[in-house]
Structure 1
Amino acid sequence: MTGYDKHGQDLSGGLEDVPVLCRGPTFPKFKYCTDNVPGPGCSVDPSEVTLPGCSCLTRSCCPESCSCLQMGGQAFDGAGRLSRSDSGYCSPLFECNALCGCGDSCSYRVVQRGLRLRLEVCGAGDKGWGVRTLEGIPRGTFVCEYAGEVIDFAEAKRRQLSQTSEENNYIIAVREHSGPSCVTETFVDPAQVGNVGRFLNHSCLPNLLMLPVRVHSVIPRLALFAGRDIYAEEELTFDYSGGYSNQQPAEMLSAQSGAADGPQRKVCHCGASSCTHFLPLDLSVLS
């Protein structure tokens, strides 16, 4: 493991451009990866370039002429942050990719640039491990991915059903609706292979929001952005159900949904005034 400073070590082992500080007498056991990797049931290699590129020859693309932006809208501003015009966070997001004619300086290359912030993995009391930022983060800034093994529904169900009540469930299921009968499902599990995102805790009042962003592949990257201005030393959290500012996907069931208690239900320790007392649980994976 690569050294970071006298107070901690780089959890990424040098794989990230910015080291991920981790303090403690023991360190979590998992394989660090910066991007999604194919797992059981994954039919497409997430690292394979499968999306077409734009023919723009400018330093930064323009929405009027860029085919990538026309697919996903003008999601980012000139500083590479989520634009206020995308405040609904419902449209699909696409970045320029390896086949695009624009350069690396294009402002629509954000998530693919990877981690750019100083983050620290540290103890978080009853929640176990957590992540805090060592610097202030402006609203709309890309923070990190939730990267891990991309698996199919059958494998996600098998893994979740095999867990004991003491084990953490890291699987995130994202469902994208592109029409009344067209739903795209993506399952990411960073339990054994993942990045710093695997240590982010749930909060019923989060400061991050998760958005699926397509870069080079049809498989989306689960990107986390600052939902508001975040101060240095704050713990970084997101809503495991995918909601933000009371926007909650119908597929996810919270503690108030009337679902029966069982070994899969986990107590929420976020401490928010609006806390639902239990972590969100996607019962469709268990059906």
Structure 2
Amino acid sequence: MEDSLGSDSVPSGPIDKNKVFSIKPLRCLVPIFPSQGGSGPSSTQQSPFAFVSPTGPFPPGAAQFFPFVSPTPNESPIQRQTASVPDNGKSYAIPSPVPLNSFRTPISAPPPDNGAKGTTTTTTMTTTAPTATRRSSKNVIPYDEGYTQSDGYENGFTIDTEDSGDAIKRKRKIRKTVKGSQAVAVSSSEVDIDPLVNHILKSFRLVEIDTILQADSNHELVQRVVLVYNLLRRKITQLDDAKGVIPGISRRADLRSGTILMNKGARVNTKRRVGSVPGVDIGDVFFFRMELCLVGLHAPIMAGIDYLSFKVSGDEEPIAVSIVSAGGYEDEEDDGEVIIYSGQGGVQRSDKLLMDQKLERGNLALEKSLHRGNEVRVVRGLKDGTSATGKVYVYDGLYKIHESWIEKGKSGCNVFKYKLIRVSGQPEGFMLWKSIQQWRDGVTARVGVILPDLTSGAENLPICLVNDVDSEKGPAYFTYLPSLKYAKPYGTSKSLSCRCSNGCQPASPCPCVEKNNGYLPYSSTGILLSHNLIVHECGPSCLCPPSCRNRVSQTGLKLRLEVFRTKNKGWGLRSWDPIRAGAFICEYAGEVITESGIDSDDNYVFDAGRVFDPLELVPTDEPVKIPFPLVVSAKNKGNVGRFMNHSCSPNVYWQPIMRENEEESYLHVGLYAIKHIGPLQELTFNYGVPRVEKKGIVKKKCLCGSSNCKGFFY
């Protein structure tokens, strides 16, 4: 009898109360769906209760179910932290229930508040962040990239890292689970990267962050954390690549680097909150779920619904604070300003069995937020064009839940549906992405286009010339040149060429790999993994194909760029596509000249001998050493790189690239993304400072507008 009362089942027949010795309280009643045929547990279970159907409106096909009162989600939180929810520096009071169109509550009869009528209830928030669990004095972070919007974080695989402060070492200790037929490795080699981690954190001032600033951060600190995360992730990726491919093992540098930073305390916005997150702007892009967690935008690194538990009159109740709408469910849809969001659950991880969703955890939190009327952050997960399985995550601002119901999904099981409408008055977010897609598809025309392709077919992608600011018809005439033009190459000692007929591979006896200190400089998706060093790409005499991953800068543009008219800086450059940190954008092309040939009126000169601020701070802190002088003039002949303006806080940096052919060497200038860059954000880099101030060099007024602006540039 005790077991029966402690489970979800209900005994039939009369109950002999004399035989009842102890009773387990029911913390949460699950909804019981009437049998409607089909497969799944809900189809075979008959409800023993007599109940009256709710009188509220139901969409066609919505299923009835037994309502219940104020359940508390059954979960395993990583920590229980009580704090008030801030709202622009003020205490945030959870709104009282309001009349809503809900599948549980008639629109004419809102549920009673737990507090006194006519008063605002004092609200205390308790964090429930399923990002890690304390287990055997270790931090365990579950993750499963394949299920971006389910709450199987209790069933996913785990990452174990020693909970010993700075003594985190990459050990040959692998815990793995099987996802389909592929095992996932969650640790790495014996290489100790802790000194590198500590050095980077110290250099970027992320050691012992001020606790007040860490709780409520700013944009500059948020950007630093994401930058350091990507530097570390790319370094771990490069070290993993050097070990070669292990059949059946998928390494997760994104998870390991995030785990290291979390254990080091290098994270921001640690105070959980309802509403917007300080330092995160609408339109900001992220390429990894761990980034959302590190900046405090969305705590779970797998589940699509993030929620908090708060206490009202002694009772706990969950509310949703953010969702990731990543298209993880078959019935999910939206039109830009309105999202029809499918609830989570309904899939057994082990055997992929489909079943009815339950009104618990994240689903229950969304239902409570519907009644409370609180704002919910929305992160949209879109397909990443550079990766077959990857996604790019865009923060789209605040929404409110206006309606909920149940309907049969395409799988035949009951699915919870929630209608979210974007709060008015916010900057443009996802709608910008929709507009760009319509330009691509030819549905609508790009406003202000002067030339559809200023390259006249010289690039593999068209680059349009756009002016929606003034009446200027275009820049001064120049000849489009997609790459550097050398009068003659530099002579060097004979260099070995690779014989990699299938393309250069990591951990292979390849001379091009050896030139890069034993590592391939690029990832398999073309992301640069090394910085402030000369990248040795395969040259003309190498036998590897054009698709070799060590020829990234030689294969042309991968991004749809446009030259546009700025408000006060002449012409500039930006991209229709989101750009991942470390991605190749374009070369700085033009004619190679001598220093003596520099024209004082030439505003399109790139001098590799200038001093540039370092970006990745490695333990040696050695400056970049150019093997021979390189000065490029793009005044008369050049490519889109000539339109990239100066900034004291740039989002692009230059990288020297060496290509060798027998006894000849060609040095090129590659332009790469420092950080993630959203669509239509201007691309800028730092023009550097001359090593020796020469006569005739004039300081120009800088109009970059950044908080770090020096007021001038050369």
For normalisation by structure 2, the TM-score amounts to 0.32
Q: Deviations over 1:211-242 (max 9, x none)?
A: 0112356231110001111101100001111x
1:176 and 1:184 in contact (8 A); partners too: no
Question: Which deviations, in whole Å up to 9, do the C-alpha atoms of 1:51-74 show, x marking residues without a partner?
Answer: 652122333333441111211243
Identity of aligned residues (%): 32
Counterpart-to-counterpart distance in 2, 1:198 and 1:219: 20
Q: 1:95 to 1:58 in 2, by over 3 A?
A: same
1:212 aligns with 2:622: no
Correspondence list, 1:37-56, <5 A: 37-38=485-486, 42-44=487-489, 52-56=496-500
Is the CA contact (8 Å cut-off) linking 2:504 and 2:510 kept in structure 1?
no
Q: Counterpart amino acid of 2:483?
A: D
Name 1:171's counterpart in structure 2.
Answer: 605
Stretches of structure 2 lacking an aligned partner (at least 5 in a row) = 1-441, 612-621
* Structure 2 equivalent of residue 231 of structure 1: 678
| Residue 274 (structure 1) shift | 0.2
CA–CA separation in structure 2 for the residues paired with 1:90 and 1:224:
12
Question: CA 1:203–1:67 in 2, change beyond 3 Å: closer, same or farther?
Answer: same
**Corresponding position of 1:272:** 706
Q: 2:633 is matched by which residue type in structure 1?
A: D
Cα offset, 1:176, TM superposition: 9.4
Q: Which residue of 1 aligns with 2:455?
A: 12
Task: Name the residue aligned to 1:36.
Answer: 484
Distance 1:145 1:197 in 2: 6
- Residues 214 and 176 of structure 1: CA distance in aligned 2, closer, same or farther (over 3 Å): farther
For the Cα contact (< 8 Å) 1:20–1:120, is it kept in 2?
yes
Which sits farther off after the overlay, 8-17 or 69-78? 69-78
Residue deviations 1:70-122 (CA, integer Å, cap 9, x gap):
11243111111111xx2xx2221111133222222221110001111101101
Match of 1:82 among 505, 508, 528: 528
The answer on 1:21 being equivalent to 2:444 is no
Question: Which residue does 1:114 correspond to in 2?
Answer: 556
d(CA) in 2 for partners of 1:195, 1:18: 13
Q: Partners in 2 of 1:11 and 1:100 — Cα distance?
A: 32
Which position in structure 2 is the counterpart of 1:244?
none
Q: Are the aligned partners of 1:56 and 1:65 in contact in 2 as well (CA < 8 Å)?
A: no
Aligned partners of 2:583 and 2:672 also within 8 Å: yes
Residue of structure 1 equivalent to 2:509: 65
Paired residues, number: 245
8 Å contact 2:463–2:560 — kept in the other structure?
A: yes
C-alpha contact (below 8 Å) 1:146/1:224 kept by paired residues: yes
Normalised by the length of structure 1, the TM-score is: 0.76
Question: Is the CA contact (8 Å cut-off) linking 1:63 and 1:70 kept in structure 2?
Answer: no
Q: What is residue 256 of structure 1 aligned with on the other side?
A: none
Distance 1:266 1:121, change over 3 A: same
Could you say if the C-alpha distance between residues 138 and 195 of structure 1 is closer, same or farther in structure 2, counting changes exceeding 3 Å?
same
Q: Distance in 2 between matches of 1:135 and 1:198?
A: 20
Shift of 1:129: 0.4
Q: 1:203 to 1:137 in 2, by over 3 A?
A: same
Q: What amino acid maps onto 2:526 in structure 1? A: G
Query: Residue 284 of structure 1 corresponds to which residue in structure 2?
Result: none
Match of 1:98 among 529, 532, 540: 540
Q: 1:251 to 1:183 in 2, by over 3 A?
A: farther
Moved more, 97-106 or 125-134: 97-106
The code of the aligned residue for 1:151 comes to I
Tell me, in whole angstroms, the C-alpha distance in 1 between the residues paired with 2:635 and 2:557. 20
> Equivalences for 1:176-195 in 2 at 5 Å?
184-195=628-639
Alignment RMSD: 3.1
565, 569, 573: which is aligned to 1:127?
569
- Taking the aligned partners of 1:182 and 1:16, their CA distance within structure 2 comes to 28
1:105 aligned partner, one-letter code = S
**Equivalence for 2:643:** 199
1:251 is the counterpart of 2:697: no
